[in-house]
Structure 1
Amino acid sequence: MSYSKTALVFRNILPKLGLETSGILGRALSTQPQQSIESAIPDKLYKQIQLEVRGNDPAVLKSYAHFTVSAAENLGVTIGRNFAPRKPEHKRYTLLKCVHIFKKHRVQYEIRTYYRFIDLHRLTESTADTILEYIQRNLPEGVAMKVTKIELLPLPESIRIPPNSISTTSTN
């Protein structure tokens, strides 16, 4: 059954069920193609997208960074820095072994957090959305990601100097 026949079947069935076809569902079932609003809006330009990935296992982060870089290369994205700091962030917690007495008997727990930083340069909004969607869907368990986008914007009208107003005057 083609799409238009399916739409006609739903248009006939929905009023019998007491459902309205004029809303969003009715527009989705229309057989006429609609113009996209997104095509009128230009893409945003990003100077840089910074990815900060953190986790408890440095080998997993290194493997994920390799995956991200290879995915970016396949999409033709320029890759900037890709590095990990030498030392992880340490958090130590000291707790009593027993709740009631024996203050001298303590146990110490330590959590190490490793970081990895990857920069992607000169992207459009559609390319950025595509690559971020792909790499975030393949994020391993126990790994967190922070994305920072640096967008390019035109100068505001209040700051711009019109090109014909610049004049050179000589002092006598």
Structure 2
Amino acid sequence: MSGTPQGLSLEKCSNKKDTLYKSVEIEIRSGEPAVLLSYEWFTSYAAKQLGITLGKCWAPPKAHHNRLTLLKSIHIYKKHRVQYEIRTYFRHMTYERLTESTLKTFLEYIQRNVPEGVAIKITKKSVLDLPPTLRILWKKISTVKDCN
């Protein structure tokens, strides 16, 4: 039995154009820098196996510190305090020149294998056609320049 429904050929299924992405930036954050480093290695290896071009991988030099000062007791005012600190570490990875189908496969794979306590933020930059109104203006400008 084939993977396509009966009566449909592969030509009819592949009429849709694949969206092109100039770059995809993935930001991962966690409280443990070792977990981020390991997950970066995992995603880079997965990208290499899929033939995805790895751009730049970098991390800020310092963690983001969020401090919260609270009173030890609800009955005593400003005498005894406790300070809590949450450190968040970041890593950024950029992947370049992707098609939509490759990107969907890659993102599904890495999102299913996210370690506990890791957050992911994905930013996509797609390549679009020039709108028809701008094409007309572009042709007019180029003909004016040619005349001069």
User: Is TM-score (shorter-chain normalized) higher than 0.5?
Assistant: yes
Q: In the alignment, residue 92 of structure 2 is paired with which amino acid?
A: F
Which protein is richer in strand relative to its size?
2
Scaled by the length of structure 2, what TM-score is found? 0.87
Question: d(CA) in 1 for partners of 2:26 and 2:147?
Answer: 50
Alignment of 1:102-141 (within 5 A): 103-141=78-116
Q: 2:52 aligns with which of 60, 77, 94?
A: 77
Partner of 1:32: 6
Partner of 1:166: 143
Identity of aligned residues (%): 52
Q: How many residues align?
A: 140
Partner of 1:143: 118
Partner of 2:16: 41
Question: d(CA) in 2 for partners of 1:146 and 1:126?
Answer: 19
**Range moving further from structure 2, 72-81 or 101-110:** 101-110
Query: Considering only CA atoms, is the larger Rg found in Structure 1 or Structure 2?
Result: 1
Partner of 1:61: 36
**Range moving further from structure 2, 121-130 or 31-40:** 31-40
Scaled by the length of structure 1, what TM-score is found? 0.75
5+ unaligned residues in a row in structure 1: which ranges? 4-30
RMSD: 2.0
Question: d(CA) in 2 for partners of 1:162 and 1:85?
Answer: 45
Secondary structure, counterpart of 2:70 in structure 1: strand
5+ unaligned residues in a row in structure 2: which ranges? none
**Range moving further from structure 2, 107-116 or 152-161:** 152-161
Q: In the alignment, residue 103 of structure 1 is paired with which amino acid?
A: K
The Cα shift of 1:115 comes to 0.3
